Amino acid sequence: MKRFNGIARCVTACAVLTVLWGATPAGVVTANEMPATDVVAAAAAHNIGVDSGKRVPTSAATGSIAPDVTVSVAATGSAATTPTAPAAAPILPTKLAADAKQLLFGKRGKSLTLKLTPTPASAETSTVVWKSSNKTVATVSGTGKVTARGWGQCTVSATVGDVSVKVPVTIAKKWVAVTWDDGPGKPTKKLLTQLRKRKVHCTFFVVGSMAKSKTKQKLLKQMKKDGHEIANHTWNHNGSAGALMAGLKKTDTVIKKAIGKKSTLMRPPGGAINSVTKRCGKAIIIWTVDPKDWRDRNANTVYKRVVTGTRSGSIVLLHDIHPTSVTGGIRAIDALAKKGYTFVTVTQLLGSPKKNKIYHSGAKTVRTAKLK
């Protein structure tokens, strides 16, 4: 009968007991403010060997097992108590990074999923909160899946604690790559400021001898920071068979010094192709639209020729050494933006340009992609 009563008390106690065991008859009973005899009964009810004659250590004040105390029941039936370790506080990230700098969609209804990388890597991200700045343009799920809903631009953000990351999202029908040659020149700083205000990304084909000074190196660093692409336009605008490779190599050294890596693209001076150009080891980028801004130094003329000649997938040639080219080019960018164009770098337009292949334009249809 005493045994029955002990088991009855165990049934009542089970609601507040957690019993864990490995190889029977040893085990562990976690008690929370209950009589020691109930703990012993609970152990027995779960086939954990215990000597009912042994007393389980109790609180002197209450005669019960103290809160958050683990009772270890050994195979011999002896018992001992140890405090349960408090749960460790989750590690929150100090920084969040997404696996894309921008999401680009060419069709509504398409989806891309963003992945987050926290710093430190062990930081908890299960509590992340995703938001879209404009749900009519794009929505985002709790797992970071972004779906294009309408034409336009918005921002998707991910927040964990006090840390967040934002990724621009563009859903566009048309795209274009605007390129700038022969610099950096005196107008380049102004040009970068205007592009930054518009959040427009371009590709700069720099001449090595123009980019080697400390001041020009700072401009290259700013280009990279602003999201522009930097490419190779030889050392001193000499694309002859005898000078091309040495010029590309010297210019790569200048580019790498500024931004930490060489260029994968080149543009031959004047667009001239020879036998050396075809095996230069870089993607060879020509153009679709040439407004002759190097010859006709008139901003309005440059503006009209760019807007008239541009189609989706075009590569536009301009020169950031002429003030008229910068003024006309910025006006053209504003006009094309109103027509629904989005602006991308050459590599973003082409996807994965191949070495020694010649490109004059990209695809007309906007590609759905994560832009790096």
Among 139, 171, 203, where does a domain finish? 171
Q: Does one domain contain both 208 and 344? A: yes
Q: What is the CATH number of the domain that holds 303?
A: 3.20.20.370
Q: Does one domain contain both 178 and 236? A: yes
CB 181 within 8 A of CB 318: yes
- Tens digits of residue pLDDT in 136-188: 999 999 999 999 999 999 999 999 999 999 999 999 999 999 999 999 999 99
Among 171, 190, 222, where does a domain finish? 171
Q: Does one domain contain both 154 and 209? A: no
Give a yes or no: residue 88 inside a domain: no
CA distance 13 to 61: 20
Q: What is the CATH number of the domain that holds 150?
A: 2.60.40.1080
CA distance 338 to 198: 12
Q: Does one domain contain both 215 and 333? A: yes
Catalytic residues: 181, 319
Structure-block tokens of residue 225: 């920071």
Q: Does one domain contain both 161 and 182? A: no
Could you tell me if residue 208 is left (phi over 0), alpha (psi between -120 and 50 degrees) or otherwise beta?
Answer: alpha
- Tens digits of residue pLDDT in 353-365: 999 999 999 999 9
CA distance 157 to 167: 6
Angle, vertex CA 366, rays to CA 159 and CA 264, nearest 5: 85
Structure-block tokens of residue 35: 């009589």
Among 18, 52, 83, where does a domain finish? 83
**For the chain, percent of residues with pLDDT exceeding 90:** 76
Give a yes or no: residue 256 inside a domain: yes
Q: Does one domain contain both 128 and 61? A: no
Question: Domain range spanning residue 262?
Answer: 174-371
| C-alpha distances in Å from residue 52, one per residue of 72, 73, 347 | 14, 11, 77
Q: Does pTM top 0.85 for this prediction? A: no
